[in-house]
Homo-oligomer: A and B are copies of this chain.
Amino acid sequence: MDFEKVLNERIELVNEGLRAYLKPRYPEIIYEAMGYSVFAGGKRLRPLLLLGACEAVGGDISEALGFACAIEMIHTYTLIHDDLPAMDNDDFRRGKPTCHKAFSEDIAILAGDGLLNLGFEVMLSEAVKKGGAEYTRAALTIGELCGVKGTIGGQVVDLLSEEKKADEETLLYIHKTKTAALIQAALKAGAIIGGADHKALSSLDEIGYKMGIAFQIKDDILDITSTTEVLGKPVGSDDKNNKSTYVSVFGFDRANEDYLRLSEEVCRLLDDFGEKGAFLRAYAEKLIDRIN
């Protein structure tokens, strides 16, 4: 397998799908605002994990493409709403003005609502078209993990913890829900669509959780050790914003150890999927390599 070639082909597949779903129609401005944020440089991490998990359990990735686009829409809505003045009040993301700066606050709120809603529309439309119960189950899995029991709950606790030091339990809750939940959702939904048995599904759930926590620790470490040029955003921003991080709560050494341990566990669990899991395994390693 030429990993980089397959990777780029899949990213292009997802982008093609997203372009089709977001093709402007009346009223154009809302499609432009949704498209602006969706095409603002995302790496398509969650769609690639979803497709990779589908493949790893023996499924056909073309059957999972709609869901891959849907989870990127849902991820993007969380970014648009998190950046709003009443939330994290960020003017830039990945070096570009955030949605409410490029458009306006009202349009950004509605673009977020629109992307969340469209994500569900796409999943439901796939479920109706394909008729299999697995699509409905996959959509429910994503819905539960991005709702108040998942991503939204995480953002609530994150906001409540601003300007005060979070305890270990609170920090883990935030990381589990804000970061890990959508990664778990991607892997589980892909696996369900691909026809995973109970064992494979449970393993991908564990992989998603560990991968999510590992990514978040990595982010927290990079905020201290990287440079603005490499990172594409100001370093030290967590500290400046008095934001509790894995490093500030557990210390740098423990953060680094946990990151390495979780990454190794992810790779070991992925080994069980053999040749079918080769892409997912290689992609996980690529993501981990960023700081090793």
Q: Is A102 an interface residue (CB 8 A)?
A: no
A31 & B148 in contact (Cβ 8 Å cutoff): yes
A29 & B139 in contact (Cβ 8 Å cutoff): no
A113 & B27 in contact (Cβ 8 Å cutoff): no
State the CA gap A83–B292 with chains docked (Å).
48
In the complex, what residue of chain B is closest to A113 when comparing beta carbons? B152
Q: Is A114 an interface residue (CB 8 A)?
A: yes
Chain A, residues 98-141, CB within 8 Å of chain B (1/0): the string is 00000011110110111011101100110110010100110110
State the CA gap A167–B204 with chains docked (Å).
54
State the CA gap A117–B109 with chains docked (Å).
15
Q: How many residues on chain A are close to B (CB under 8 Å)?
A: 50
Known: A124-B143, A148-B114, A148-B118. A153 touches B106 (CB 8 A): no
Q: Is A155 an interface residue (CB 8 A)?
A: yes
In the complex, what residue of chain B is closest to A87 when comparing beta carbons? B106
Q: Which listed residue (B109, B127, B156) contacts A136, Cβ 8 A?
A: B127
State the CA gap A191–B187 with chains docked (Å).
35
Q: Is A84 an interface residue (CB 8 A)?
A: yes
A153 & B117 in contact (Cβ 8 Å cutoff): no
Apart from A31-B148, A106-B159, 9 more pairs, CB < 8 Å: A27-B157, A87-B106, A110-B155, A117-B146, A117-B148, A117-B152, A118-B148, A131-B133, A136-B136
Interface residues of A (CB under 8 A from B): 25-27, 29-31, 34, 77, 81, 84, 86-87, 104-107, 109-110, 112-114, 116-118, 120-121, 124-125, 127-128, 131, 133, 136-137, 139-140, 143-144, 146-149, 152-153, 155-157, 159-160, 173
